Structure 1
Amino acid sequence: MKQHAKKFLTIVHDAKSRIRETNVEEVKIKLDRGDRFFLVDVREESEWKKGHIINAIYIGKGVIERDIEKNISDTGAEIILYCGGGFRSALAADNLQKMGYTNVISMDGGYGGWVKAGYPTET
């Protein structure tokens, strides 16, 4: 497992105290059931190009605050964010909530957990 810097983990834990989280299994169930929500990959573009969850949209963490409104204008829409493991998505979820998005959830485990579970991906 990747060792993250202490100060990075401090801000992640702070963000996690304010956001809602889900897990890989719950997202898979929602997708299989056909639930309507936005699944947003916030990883780097190079990570996205190597593989991502089917039907996800890409809005990188570096530009999500700038670009979210043109991609998802409904601030009440259910939005599930994921990254590699659930840390960057937590930070992005915290910022989207500050922007008035009320139904944002971070997927703990991220893409790594999705792949480990053997769930389908695409490139």
Structure 2
Amino acid sequence: MEHSPEFLALVDAARARIREIDASELAVRLTDAPDAALIDVREESEYAAGHVQGAEHIGKGVIERDIVAKHPDKTQPLYLYCGGGYRSALAADALQQMGYTHVVNVDGGWRALREIMPTE
């Protein structure tokens, strides 16, 4: 997918403020932090078509509204992914602004993860 320069600028600004890991690091990170949550921020139809095994769906459009009810501990490690790491970067930035202290964007997203992680 080709993204507009305006969207890419928004994502780049968010990436300057958040933590990111490469998709290849995710399995180790989840093993090292058994209390971590893996959150798929894609659209419901994308999630239904396939997702990383054990991932929870909270779409980017509602994550700010729903995150506190689902994950009230703002120190819990939260790993976010989307299709390629763009939307999840924006969601990670928003969660940090809400006071979450261990939010990590998975760069490469579903396109990379489906090749290296168990999927459903």
User: Which category describes the TM-score, using the shorter chain as reference length?
Assistant: over 0.9
The CA deviation at 1:28 is 1.8
User: Do the aligned partners of 2:89 and 2:105 also contact (CA within 8 Å) in 1?
Assistant: yes
The CA deviation at 1:32 is 5.0
TM-score by length of 2: 0.94
SS at match of 1:39: strand
1:119 paired with 2:117, answer yes
How many percent identity over aligned positions? Answer: 49
Which residue pairs with 1:37 in the alignment?
36
The CA deviation at 1:34 is 6.6
The CA deviation at 1:78 is 0.3
Q: 1:34 to 1:16 in 2, by over 3 A?
A: closer
Distance in 2 (CA, whole Å) between partners of 1:77 and 1:11 is: 26
Distance in 2 (CA, whole Å) between partners of 1:16 and 1:24 is: 15
SS at match of 2:106: strand
Distance in 1 (CA, whole Å) between partners of 2:32 and 2:19 is: 21
SS at match of 1:52: coil
TM-score by length of 1: 0.92
Correspondence list, 1:1-123, <5 A: 2-32=1-31, 35-115=34-114, 117-122=115-120
Distance in 2 (CA, whole Å) between partners of 1:69 and 1:19 is: 19
CA shift digits 1:27-70 (9 cap, x unpaired) = 12234567330000000000000000011101000000000001
RMSD: 1.3
Unaligned runs of 5+ in 2: none
